[in-house]
Structure 1
């Protein structure tokens, strides 16, 4: 079970060169603000990509007389739609991580309640499992699939 503590949204100074480390108190104000900003920037980047996809799909209304061109157009359109769907799901995960930052559960493994390594969170800010729990989960998936 993840640890819960009351958090208040406050602006904390985080230097541009700051990188969370294992040697500091886990999920201190600076670390929490670092991940909050990282998630917001990632969300903004995805939103910009999504806008580009929508513009592409809306602007691509061309009548193709050649069946091969039609097939290529449809394949490109399907790829864009799948990409947009993946990005939409990723935004949901980012929003969920932002909510966990607000309620004080961000950074704690959903299965064990242990802190997730700051390096793992830096690489995958939406992580909900510690590396060990994730590996156990993946091993279980391989056993079920095999």
Structure 2
């Protein structure tokens, strides 16, 4: 992978990180600005349901943020784009679709099959 591709992926990962941080800040502002005195039980249930949904999304984004940080670390140490399983290059198309990918498509497929078999 050349420097131009690495820079492009680094910028993409940084943009993803900034978007997640913005979403988190917006969620915090919304949650702190909402009044907790909602007299109607149905309205209160809706607010709580929405809040729970929002928190689940933020939890998923937190996990994605960890993967973004790992990917940025791999860019810095020179291992970005190399499969953690077999050591082969990860296809550019895969990285374009999933810039945080640690595994080539073959290793990821095998990993998911093993997880599926263990889950039975």
TM-score interval for Structure 1 and Structure 2 normalised by the shorter chain: over 0.9
Name the SS of the counterpart of 1:35 in structure 2: helix
**Cα displacement (A) at 1:115:** 0.7
Deviations 1:106-138 (A, max 9, x none): 111111111110000010000001000111111
Alpha-carbon offset, residue 66 of structure 1: 2.0
Q: Are 2:90 and 1:107 aligned?
A: no
Distance 1:81 1:125 in 2: 24
Q: Would you say 1:68 and 2:42 are equivalent positions?
A: yes
Aligned residues: 120
Aligned partner (choices 25, 30, 50) of residue 51 of structure 1:
25
Query: For residue 136 of structure 1, what is the aligned residue in structure 2?
Result: 110
- Following TM superposition, the consecutive aligned residue runs of length 4 or more in structure 1 with deviations greater than 3 angstroms are none
Structure with greater contact order relative to length (CA < 8 Å, sep ≥ 6): 1
Give deviations 1:65-116, integer Å, cap 9, x for gaps. Answer: 2222222111111111111121122111111100100000111111111111
Give the superposition deviation at 1:62. 3.2
1:133 aligned counterpart, secondary structure: helix
TM-score when scaled to structure 1?
0.77
TM-score normalised according to structure 2 size: 0.93
Q: CA deviation at 1:139?
A: 1.0
CA RMSD of aligned residues (A): 1.2
Gaps of 5+ in 2: none
Query: 1:29-44 residue pairs with structure 2 within 5 A?
Result: 29-44=3-18
Distance in structure 2 (CA, Å) of the matches to 1:81 and 1:50: 10
Among 57, 70, 87, which residue is 2:61 paired with?
87
